[in-house]
Amino acid sequence: MNKRSFFKQLISMLMCICFVLISLFLITYIVKEANHECSKEKCHICDCILRAEKMLKHLSSNIFNSYIAIIVVLSCLSCLIPAILNIQIITPITLKVKMIN
Q: What is the pLDDT of residues 15-66, one digit of tens each?
A: 878 888 888 888 888 888 888 888 778 888 888 888 888 888 887 777 777 7
Look at 72 and 90; give whichever has higher pLDDT. 72
The pLDDT assigned to 39 comes to 78
With 0.75 as the threshold, say if the pTM is over it.
no
The pLDDT assigned to 98 comes to 57
Q: Are 30 and 49 in contact (CB under 8 A)?
A: yes
The pLDDT assigned to 23 comes to 82
Q: Are 66 and 81 in contact (CB under 8 A)?
A: no
Q: Does residue 100 carry a pLDDT above 70?
A: no
Helix (H, G, I), strand (E, B) or coil at 9: helix
